[in-house]
C-alpha cells in the first residue's frame, strides 16, 4: 500500500508506466470487463484514443448547458427541504445521474426517470456485493459463491443492468434511424455539424471494428454511467457539508460568484474558469473527501524502494484517501482550508501530493467534465442559498465502497439568501 508522494514518485517514474490493473478488478468483470477502466495493453490504448474526443474542449461547452439545466432542477428540489437538516446526497445523485445520462448518452432522462435511478442503485448494489466478495475468503471462491443465495440475487442484478444498457442501445439506434429518415442529415442539426456523444462513438466503433465483442457496448456504458456520477455526488455532498461549518468560506465564494456571473441560470464555462477561489474550494473538497479512495496497479518491472526490491507483477494499492489526509504531506490535514490551494500556497508542492483523478496517461478521462460540473452546481447553490450551521454533535461516519460515502449521509440545512 502506498500513501506518500515520495514512494509514488519512486515507483511511477514515467507517466506511461504500470498502467495494468490488478486481479482486484476481476470481480467486476461481468459488468465492466471490456470497458476502458479494466482492459489493458493495446486494447486500452485503442479504446482510450477512440473515446477521448467525447471529452474534448468543444464538448465541454455543450455539457455545460446540461449542467445548467440539471442544476436549476436541483435547486427546485432544494426548495422543498429548506430550513431542515437533510442528507443532500440523494438529491445530488439524481441530478448527476441525469447529467451523465444526457451528456454521455445524448438521451432524454425525463422519458424514464424512475428506471434510470433504479439502474443507478442496482449497479451500486452489484458493486457493493462484489466488494464484499473481495474481502471474504469464502465468497472469493467462484465455486463456493455459486452455491450461495447471494449469487442468485447478484445474477438478477446483472440481468437488470444488461437489460437497461441494451434498452439504451436500442433507443439510440432507433433515434439514429429516425434522424436519417428525416430530411436532415444524420450529422447535422439545422446545418450545424452535430458533435458525437460517447454513445455515438461507441456505436460507430462497433459498426466498423469487427474485433469488438457485443458485450463491449454494455460494459463500456456501465463504466461511464458508474464512474461519471457517484464520484461527483460524493464530493459535491461533502463540500456542501463542509461549507455549512465554514460560513466565512461560503461568503467569500458568494462574493466571487456574484462578481463574475451575470445570469445564474446560464453560467458559462468562461465564468467558471474565472472563479479562482471556487477552484480552491473544490480542490480542498477533493483532497479531504477524495471520492476514489484507492486505486490498484500492477508493476511492469522490478522497482527498488529504500534498498528493497518490489518484484515485477506485484499489485500496488495507492491509498489516495490516506495520502490526502497525511500530516506528513499537509499541515493540519484534517482542517478544511481552501487557501491551501491558493497560487502562493501550492508553490513547491509535490504534484503527487494531490491525485484525486489519479495521474499519468491512465488518469480519469472525465476529470475536466467533473470539475466544470461540480463548479457549475456549486456556483448555483451558493448564489441562491446559505448553509446554516449543523448541530454540534454530528459526526460523519465515512466509509468506502470504492467511492467515499457516509453512513449517516451528508446533512445540510439550507436557507434562501
Ligand atoms: C469528482 C469526480 C471524479 C473523480 C474523483 C474520479 C476519479 C477517478 C480516478 C482516481 C480514476 C483512476 C482509476 C484507476 O486508476 O484505477 C478514474 C478513472 C476513470 N474515470 Fe473518473 N473520476 C471522477 C469523475 C468522472 C467522470 C465525470 C467520468 C465520466 C463521465 C469519469 C470516468 C472515468 C473513466 C472512464 C475512468 C477509467 C479511465 C481509464 O482507465 O482509462 N470519471 N477516475
CA-closest residue to ligand 1 atom 7:
357
Name every residue whose Cβ is closer than 8 Å to that of residue 151 and which is 6 or more positions away in sequence: 145
User: Cβ(410)–Cβ(90) under 8 Å?
Assistant: no
Instruction: State the Rg of the chain over Cα.
Output: 22
Tell me the average pLDDT across 95-100: 94
Local structure of 398: helix, strand or coil = strand
- Measured from the CA of 44, which atom of ligand 1 is nearest? 41
What do you get for the CA distance between the two ends of the chain, in Å?
46
- Measured from the CA of 229, which atom of ligand 1 is nearest? 27
User: Cβ(389)–Cβ(412) under 8 Å?
Assistant: no
DSSP annotation of 403 reads: B
**How far apart are the CA of 79 and the centre of ligand 1, in A?**
31
Which residue segment(s) compose the domain that 191 sits in? 5-416
Closest CA to 67 of 102, 113, 109, 105: 102
**Exposure b/e, 140-156, CB count within 10 A at least 16 = b:** eeeeeeeeeeebeebee
Kindly indicate the confidence band of residue 191, based on its pLDDT and cuts at 50, 70 and 90.
very low
**How far apart are the CA of 266 and the centre of ligand 1, in A?**
27
**How far apart are the CA of 151 and the centre of ligand 1, in A?**
28
CA-closest residue to ligand 1 atom 21:
364
CA 118 to chain centre: 18
- The span from the CA of 84 to the CA of 414, in Å, is 7
245 φ, ψ (degrees, to nearest 5):
-95, -5
pLDDT for res 338: 98
Tell me the average pLDDT across 207-224: 86
Pocket residue to mutate for ligand 1, from 24, 37, 226, 364, most atoms within 8 A of Cβ: 364
Q: In the structure grid, which three cell numbers stand for residue 169, read together? A: 442501445
pLDDT digits (tens, 9 = 90+) for 380-398: 999 999 999 888 788 999 9
Closest CA to 18 of 363, 320, 403, 305: 363
**What are the distances in angstroms from CA 20 to CA 87, 147, 246, 295, 300?**
37, 32, 41, 11, 8
**How far apart are the CA of 170 and the centre of ligand 1, in A?**
26
Tell me the average pLDDT across 395-412: 93
CB neighbourhood size of 23 (10 A): 10
DSSP annotation of 194 reads: P
**How far apart are the CA of 259 and the centre of ligand 1, in A?**
32
**Number of domains within the chain:** 1
Q: Hunting for cell 462513438 — which residue is that?
A: 201
- The span from the CA of 414 to the CA of 417, in Å, is 9
- Measured from the CA of 35, which atom of ligand 1 is nearest? 35
CATH of the domain at 231: 1.10.630.10
- pTM of the entire predicted model: 0.93
CA-closest residue to ligand 1 atom 18:
364
User: Cβ(417)–Cβ(75) under 8 Å?
Assistant: no
Q: Which of 9-13, 69-73, 346-350 has the highest mean pLDDT?
A: 69-73
- The span from the CA of 123 to the CA of 221, in Å, is 12
**How far apart are the CA of 220 and the centre of ligand 1, in A?**
13
Kindly indicate the confidence band of residue 176, based on its pLDDT and cuts at 50, 70 and 90.
confident
For helices 89-100 and 57-78, the axis angle rounded to 10 degrees is 150
- The span from the CA of 360 to the CA of 346, in Å, is 20
**How far apart are the CA of 280 and the centre of ligand 1, in A?**
20
Pocket residue to mutate for ligand 1, from 199, 319, 366, 402, most atoms within 8 A of Cβ: 366
Pocket residue to mutate for ligand 1, from 227, 232, 295, most atoms within 8 A of Cβ: 227
Kindly indicate the confidence band of residue 182, based on its pLDDT and cuts at 50, 70 and 90.
low
CA-closest residue to ligand 1 atom 16:
295
Position 113 pLDDT exceeds 50: yes
Local structure of 292: helix, strand or coil = strand
pLDDT for res 181: 63
Spell out the alpha helix ranges (H) of 27-148: 29-32, 41-51, 57-78, 89-100, 113-134, 142-145
Lowest mean pLDDT among 128-132, 209-213, 374-378: 209-213
**How far apart are the CA of 122 and the centre of ligand 1, in A?**
20
Lowest mean pLDDT among 101-110, 167-176, 190-199, 296-305: 190-199
Give residue ranges with CB within 6 A of ligand 1: 36-37, 48, 100, 104, 223-224, 227-228, 231-232, 235, 291-292, 295, 356-358, 362, 364-366, 369-370
- The span from the CA of 288 to the CA of 279, in Å, is 14
pLDDT digits (tens, 9 = 90+) for 322-351: 999 999 999 999 999 999 999 999 988 899
**How far apart are the CA of 223 and the centre of ligand 1, in A?**
9
CA-closest residue to ligand 1 atom 36:
364
Amino acid at each position: 500500500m502506498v500513501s506518500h508522494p515520495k514512494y509514488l514518485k519512486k515507483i511511477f517514474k514515467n507517466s506511461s508506466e504500470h498502467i495494468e490493473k490488478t486481479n482486484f478488478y476481476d470481480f467486476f468483470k461481468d459488468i465492466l470487463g471490456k470497458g476502458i477502466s479494466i482492459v489493458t495493453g493495446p486494447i486500452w490504448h485503442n479504446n482510450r484514443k477512440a473515446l477521448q474526443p467525447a471529452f474534448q474542449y468543444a464538448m465541454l461547452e455543450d455539457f455545460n448547458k446540461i449542467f445548467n439545466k440539471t442544476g436549476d432542477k436541483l435547486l427546485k428540489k432544494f426548495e422543498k427541504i429548506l430550513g431542515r437538516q437533510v442528507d443532500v446526497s440523494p438529491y445530488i445523485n439524481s441530478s448527476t445521474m441525469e447529467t451523465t445520462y444526457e451528456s454521455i448518452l445524448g438521451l432524454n432522462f425525463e422519458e424514464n426517470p424512475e428506471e434510470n435511478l433504479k439502474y443507478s442503485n442496482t449497479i451500486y448494489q452489484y458493486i457493493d456485493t462484489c466488494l464484499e466478495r473481495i474481502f471474504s475468503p469464502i465468497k472469493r471462491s467462484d465455486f463456493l459463491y455459486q452455491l450461495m443465495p447471494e449469487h442468485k440475487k447478484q445474477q438478477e442484478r446483472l440481468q437488470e443492468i444488461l437489460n437497461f444498457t441494451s434498452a439504451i442501445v436500442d433507443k439510440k439506434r432507433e433515434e439514429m434511424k429516425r434522424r436519417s429518415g428525416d430530411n436532415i442529415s444524420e450529422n447535422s442539426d439545422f446545418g450545424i455539424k452535430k458533435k458525437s456523444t460517447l454513445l455515438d462513438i461507441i456505436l460507430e466503433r462497433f459498426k466498423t471494428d469487427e474485433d469488438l465483442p457485443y458485450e463491449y457496448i454494455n460494459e463500456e456504458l456501465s463504466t461511464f454511467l458508474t464512474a461519471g456520477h457517484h464520484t461527483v455526488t460524493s464530493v459535491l455532498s461533502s463540500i456542501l457539508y463542509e461549507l455549512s461549518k465554514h460560513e466565512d468560506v461560503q461568503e467569500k465564494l458568494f462574493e466571487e460568484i456574484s462578481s463574475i456571473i451575470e445570469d445564474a441560470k446560464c453560467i458559462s464555462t468562461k465564468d467558471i474558469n474565472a472563479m479562482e477561489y471556487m477552484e480552491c474550494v473544490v480542490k480542498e473538497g477533493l483532497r479531504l473527501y477524495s471520492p476514489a479512495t484507492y486505486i490498484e496497479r500492477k508493476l511492469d518491472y522490478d522497482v527498488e524502494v529504500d534498498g528493497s526490491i518490489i518484484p515485477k507483477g506485484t499489485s500496488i494499492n495507492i491509498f489516495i484517501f490516506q495520502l490526502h489526509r497525511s500530516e506528513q504531506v499537509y499541515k493540519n490535514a484534517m482542517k478544511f482550508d481552501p487557501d491551501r490551494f491558493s497560487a502562493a500556497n501550492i508553490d513547491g508542492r509535490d504534484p503527487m501530493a494531490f491525485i484525486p483523478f489519479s495521474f499519468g496517461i491512465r488518469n480519469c478521462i472525465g476529470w475536466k467534465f467533473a470539475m466544470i460540473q461540480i463548479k457549475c452546481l456549486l456556483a448555483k447553490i451558493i448564489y441562491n442559498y446559505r448553509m446554516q450551521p449543523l448541530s454540534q454533535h454530528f459526526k460523519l461516519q465515512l466509509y468506502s465502497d470504492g467511492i467515499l460515502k457516509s453512513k449517516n449521509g451528508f446533512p445540510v440545512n439550507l436557507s434562501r439568501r
